[in-house]
């Protein structure tokens, strides 16, 4: 037993430190993403947002005076920890408690294979991208089980809607990932980033713009964020799958939602935005690479929040139609053009141009197809 | 010293760390929070009304159909991963092969589409109905009111004796 412990420490000393840092940063980031979302929402809707809670109890931080509400996440966490946990009498108690654990577990552990700088990752797994697909699909269980276990009609409907939505968009997400694998010939996240080089024209967002759009849209749906936040549509389903949750269990769902969003952003950055690559600076020092990675992730997170507060929610039939009749054929089509241009031309420049033309056509088509207003 | 913990071992340790973290948060809150249940609190939330029945009921079959189609396409995507990994080495051969593979599955998608399994709101739901034509052919009853129905059932003599004359 001692030998095993020694072995673990010797081999994993630095990895343990990295795991601790990653989990710590991720959880802090989650707390402050909630704050950032509320501030940005307030900015978009011309309100103030949280601006009172500061760190007045800590003498060194008293100068902040809570001017911009930076203490809000901490106060929220403490409040949720101290709240009574109400479990309905008719619920299945065990599954009711298990569901939020699964949700947060799936959200947190997805990040294990994402590289933060060259050679810096918690685990350099050779099938990293499959690991990510596998663990993110576990998230469906958390939501479906919570919907069922609460024994409440709103929860059940929210859980069902959510599971149908997540499996529908998982397909187009998977197809976008396959197109990336065709381009980079690697399942390893580090190799995928390396193949994108430090020239932004080689990043997959330029080589395969269509794939990027498909993946990002599917990521919105997978993380249950607007315009795909049907599972928790307040006006019809109260709170959706977490109607019957309170206290720490609710906090776990809340954390899972934002952790999912952050992780989805890191995956998008890794697959499409060149990961840790610094533009026009090959072999940058590791801290610059980490900085580039974090900057890109923050940008994607801003896009997520921006979209949520800009677009209205879909109706359920529109959501299913988009997923099955548009995104799935589009994903197959995208894979087809990626595969055929690589065989025909041998490099990806024609693919970039073709993608640009296609996306321009799609945008033009959507404007042309916009239904004319019936108001005369 | 040779590396004895594989990369998957590290993933496993990270997963274990994740479990510890999540369960730790759960237990911390259990130690801190109050527990004062009452009947009102413990009822299922139904917008302030008394909850009606259990919610563990049958749900719409369409969710099931969607799940079935999902399984087919998810397995397809899994089959595409090894193909994609060695795509550049195989070249045209791989392209043609994938075209055939995807083509066959597209037929499946087209079938589900034409059958209407991808429609969430069906304009003409196929509701099974009893064959009513036989009944329609029968002559309609001349008298339709309830009173005449009663008279037709009860014998004329009985109705005369029991009902008072108006």
DSSP annotation of A61 reads: G
Counting beta carbons within 10 angstroms of the beta carbon of residue A202, is it exposed (0 to 12), middle (13 to 18) or buried (19 or more)?
A: middle
- Report CB contact under 8 Å: A324, B84: no
Q: Identify the sign of the CA torsion B129, B131, B136, B142.
A: negative
> Which residues in chain B land under pLDDT 50?
1-2, 158-159
- Beta strand residue intervals within chain A, DSSP E: none
Of A91, A186, A252, the CB nearest to B25: A252
Read off the pLDDT of residues A78-97 as tens digits, 9 standing for 90 and up.
Answer: 888 888 888 888 888 888 88
**Between A356 and A65, the higher pLDDT residue:** A356
| B7 at A interface, C-beta within 8 A | yes
- Report CB contact under 8 Å: B95, A109: no
pLDDT score at A215 = 92
| A55 at B interface, C-beta within 8 A | no
Closest CA to B33 of A83, A249, A330, A120: A83
pLDDT score at B157 = 52
**Between A350 and A265, the higher pLDDT residue:** A265
Residue pair A53/A75 in contact by the 8 Å Cβ criterion:
yes
Q: How far apart are the first and last CA of chain A?
A: 81
Read off the pLDDT of residues A17-73 as tens digits, 9 standing for 90 and up.
Answer: 777 788 888 888 888 888 888 888 888 888 888 877 777 777 766 666 666 778 788
Residue window 34-63, chain B: list those with CB within 8 Å of chain A: 34-37, 41-47, 51, 54-56, 59-60, 63
- Report CB contact under 8 Å: B74, A171: yes
CA distance A186 to B88: 11
- Cα B60 to chain centroid, rounded: 4
Residue window 239-278, chain A: list those with CB within 8 Å of chain B: 243-244, 247-249, 251-252
| A174 at B interface, C-beta within 8 A | yes
Q: How far is A87 from chain B, CA to nearest CA, in Å? A: 6
DSSP A27-57: HHHHHHHHHHHHHHHHHHTT---S-----TT
pLDDT score at A85 = 81
| A232 at B interface, C-beta within 8 A | no
Burial B19-51 (b: 16+ CB within 10 A, else e): eebbeebbeebeeebeeeeeeeeebbbeeeeeb
Element holding B25 (H helix, E strand): helix B7-32
Q: Which residues of A touch B70 (CB under 8 A)?
A: 167-168, 170-171
**Does residue A375 have a pLDDT over 50?**
no
Residue whose entry in the numeric block shows the structure tokens 């034509």: B133
> Which CA distances in Å does A253 have to A108, A237, B8, B17, B69?
12, 17, 27, 18, 29
**Does residue A115 have a pLDDT over 60?**
yes
**Between B21 and A372, the higher pLDDT residue:** B21
Mean pLDDT for chain A overall: 82
| A151 at B interface, C-beta within 8 A | yes
Q: What is the mean pLDDT of residues A179-195?
A: 85
- Report CB contact under 8 Å: B22, A130: no
- Report CB contact under 8 Å: A7, B21: no
Q: Is the ipTM of this complex over 0.90?
A: no
CA distance A57 to B111: 65
Please count the other Cβ atoms lying within 10 Å of the Cβ belonging to residue A166: 25
Closest CA to A18 of A135, A105, A121, A92: A121
Inter-chain CB pairs, A–B, below 8 Å: 201
**What CATH class does B51-120 carry?**
mainly alpha
DSSP annotation of A327 reads: I
- Report CB contact under 8 Å: B106, A332: yes
CA distance A44 to A310: 8
Q: Which residues of A touch B10 (CB under 8 A)?
A: 12, 15, 112, 122-123
Whether the bond between A227 and the residue before it is cis, its omega within 30 degrees of 0, is: yes
pLDDT score at A6 = 66
Residue pair A139/A260 in contact by the 8 Å Cβ criterion:
yes
CA distance B80 to A120: 29
Burial B77-107 (b: 16+ CB within 10 A, else e): beebbebbbebeeeeeebbeebeeebeebee
Best mutation target among B1, B22, B50 (most A Cβ atoms within 10 Å) is: B22
Q: Which residue of B has its CA nearest to A153?
A: B55
């Amino acid at each position: 037993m001692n030998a095993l412990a020694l072995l673990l420490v010797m081999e994993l000393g630095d990895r343990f430190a990295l795991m601790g840092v990653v989990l710590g940063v991720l959880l802090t980031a989650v707390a402050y993403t909630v704050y950032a979302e509320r501030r940005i929402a307030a900015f978009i809707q011309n309100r103030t947002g949280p601006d009172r809670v500061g760190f007045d109890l800590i003498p060194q931080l008293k100068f902040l005076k809570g001017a911009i509400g930076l203490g809000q996440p901490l106060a929220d966490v403490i409040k949720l920890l101290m709240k009574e946990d109400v479990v309905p009498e008719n619920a299945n108690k065990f599954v009711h408690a298990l569901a939020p654990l699964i949700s947060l577990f799936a959200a947190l552990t997805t990040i294990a294979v994402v590289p933060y700088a060259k050679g810096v990752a918690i685990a350099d797994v050779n099938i990293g991208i499959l690991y990510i697909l596998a663990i993110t699909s576990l998230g469906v269980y958390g939501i479906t089980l919570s919907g069922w276990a609460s024994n409440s009609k709103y929860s059940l409907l929210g859980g069902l809607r959510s599971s149908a939505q997540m499996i529908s968009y998982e397909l187009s997400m998977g197809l976008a990932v396959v197109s990336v694998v065709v381009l980079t010939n690697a399942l390893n996240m580090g190799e995928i980033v390396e193949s994108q080089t430090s020239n932004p024209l080689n990043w997959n967002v330029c080589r395969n713009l269509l794939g990027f759009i498909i993946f990002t849209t599917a990521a919105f749906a997978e993380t249950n964020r607007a315009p795909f936040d049907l599972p928790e549509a307040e006006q019809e389903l109260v709170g959706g799958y977490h109607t019957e949750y309170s206290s720490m269990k609710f906090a776990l769902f809340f954390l899972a939602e934002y952790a999912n969003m952050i992780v989805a952003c890191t995956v998008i950055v890794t697959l499409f935005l060149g990961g840790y690559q610094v533009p026009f600076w090959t072999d940058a020092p590791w801290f610059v690479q980490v900085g580039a990675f974090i900057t890109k992730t923050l940008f994607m997170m801003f896009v997520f929040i921006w979209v949520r507060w800009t677009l209205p929610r879909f109706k359920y039939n529109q959501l299913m139609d988009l997923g099955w009749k548009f995104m799935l054929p589009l994903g197959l089509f995208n894979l087809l053009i990626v595969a055929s241009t690589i065989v025909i031309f041998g490099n990806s420049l024609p693919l970039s141009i073709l993608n640009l033309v296609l996306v321009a056509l799609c945008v033009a088509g959507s404007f042309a197809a916009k239904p004319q207003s019936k108001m005369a | 010293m040779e590396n004895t913990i594989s990369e998957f071992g590290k993933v496993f340790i990270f997963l274990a760390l994740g479990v510890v973290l999540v369960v730790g948060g759960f237990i911390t809150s259990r130690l801190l929070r109050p527990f004062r249940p009452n009947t009102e609190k413990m009822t299922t939330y139904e917008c302030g009304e008394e909850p009606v029945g259990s919610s563990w009921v049958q749900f719409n079959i369409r969710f099931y159909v969607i799940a079935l189609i999902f399984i087919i396409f998810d397995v397809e995507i899994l089959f595409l991963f090894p193909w994609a990994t060695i795509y550049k080495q195989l070249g045209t051969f791989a392209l043609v092969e994938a075209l055939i593979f995807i083509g066959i599955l597209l037929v499946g998608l087209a079938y589900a589409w034409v059958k209407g399994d991808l429609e969430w709101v069906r304009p003409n739901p196929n509701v099974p109905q009893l064959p009513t034509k036989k009944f329609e052919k029968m002559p309609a009853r001349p008298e339709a009111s309830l009173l005449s129905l009663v008279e037709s059932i009860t014998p004329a003599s009985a109705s005369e004796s029991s009902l008072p004359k108006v």
